[in-house]
Amino acid sequence: MDLSGQRESGNVEDARGGGKKGMAIGGGIVALLVTLVAGYFGIDPRIAQQLAGGLQKGGGKVQDGKGIDDGYKTFSAKVLGSTEDVWEKQFREQGYGVYKKPGMKLFSEGVDSEGCGFAPSAVGPFYCPASEKVFLDPTFFVELEQKLGGSKAEFSQAYVIAHEVGHHVQHRLGYSQRLKEFEARARPNERENQGIRLELQADYLAGVWAHHAADKLQISEVDVREAIKTAKSIGDNRIQEKSRGWSSPEKFNHGTDEQRSRTFLRGFKTGDASKRALEYFFNPDTPPLKL
């Protein structure tokens, strides 16, 4: 991937090392995010709670990151800029109306999501529909780099941002509301599986973005393979296996690694943002776990 020709979005706010807001963690005001806004990682709420508890004990430690110039802001602003370019055009072409761009806030330690509660970094990147913002602690990127190795991680990082922007796109198109209807209709034992519709659709939308950005950003086969490896290594089953030693299909929220990579690839190959393509994830005949 080559971002050198890409403009930066003007909608990125860098609040890293801001200090004051982090104190709320020490104050014990920790609102856990619901599945709808939980971001890329499908972290078990109990684990998030433990992590939040750990932060409380630590007294709300906030690193002073003032003057951080690690390239992550530029990187994030360019990727966000690319998603803006792609989705503005797609919204116009598909007759979805004007694309209202999401905001993005970079933070460290924890953040007030401006409508979805206070979130510790441990929840991973996420989107809050109330503020229409993507929240991101770039230390998550550092973890990806360590896992995948340097430049290879670049596209995987972009893919994570595109996934969160996918949540914004589906919010604008009314799919978040549709999920509520599905949950209301579902049998109690299948209710919590329904969130997978939004998660896989967000992976699909990330693929659609990559399809349309491929020429400009020179997204290569290798990039795509790396992103798939990322999806595979952080699919819900892996996360759960790691945290609890076993995985339970009923608890999956984001999809298995196989489902995620297959769905991303489908979006990447077709680039199809039509209503028909997006409806697939909300077809009552599409079983929540067999997409």
Give the rounded distance of the alpha carbon of 118 from its chain centre.
17
Q: How far is the CB of 212 from Zn ion (least distance, A)?
A: 20
Q: How far is the CB of 66 from Zn ion (least distance, A)?
A: 30
The angle formed by the CA atoms of residues 89, 270 and 291, to the nearest 5 degrees, is 115
Q: d(Cα 181, Cα 185) in Å, to the nearest integer?
A: 6
Which token pair is 144?
């990806």
**Closer of 33 and 202 to Zn ion (Cβ):** 202
The angle formed by the CA atoms of residues 144, 147 and 152, to the nearest 5 degrees, is 70
**Closer of 6 and 240 to Zn ion (Cβ):** 240
**Closer of 79 and 202 to Zn ion (Cβ):** 202
HEC string of 25-86?
HHCCCCCCCCCCCCCCCCCCHHHHHHHHHHHHHCCCCCCCCCCCCCCHHHHHHHHHHHHHHH
**Closer of 84 and 199 to Zn ion (Cβ):** 199
x-marked contacts with Zn ion along 151-190 as a string, rule CB under 5 A: ----------------------------------------
Q: How far is the CB of 235 from Zn ion (least distance, A)?
A: 12
**Closer of 1 and 202 to Zn ion (Cβ):** 202
Q: How far is the CB of 190 from Zn ion (least distance, A)?
A: 19
Q: How far is the CB of 127 from Zn ion (least distance, A)?
A: 7
Q: d(Cα 93, Cα 274) in Å, to the nearest integer?
A: 9
Q: How far is the CB of 254 from Zn ion (least distance, A)?
A: 6
x-marked contacts with Zn ion along 100-129 as a string, rule CB under 5 A: ------------------------------
**Closer of 154 and 199 to Zn ion (Cβ):** 199
Q: Which of residues 221-280 bind Zn ion (CB under 5 A)?
A: none
Q: How many C-beta atoms lie closer than 10 Å to residue 88's C-beta?
A: 14
Size of the site for Zn ion (CB under 5 A): 2
Q: d(Cα 119, Cα 130) in Å, to the nearest integer?
A: 14
Q: d(Cα 54, Cα 124) in Å, to the nearest integer?
A: 16
Which token pair is 105?
């806030």
Q: Among 197, 213, 168, 214, which residue's Cα sits nearest to residue 263?
A: 197
Q: Which of residues 183-222 bind Zn ion (CB under 5 A)?
A: 199, 202
**Closer of 78 and 163 to Zn ion (Cβ):** 163
Site residues, Zn ion (CB under 5 A): 199, 202
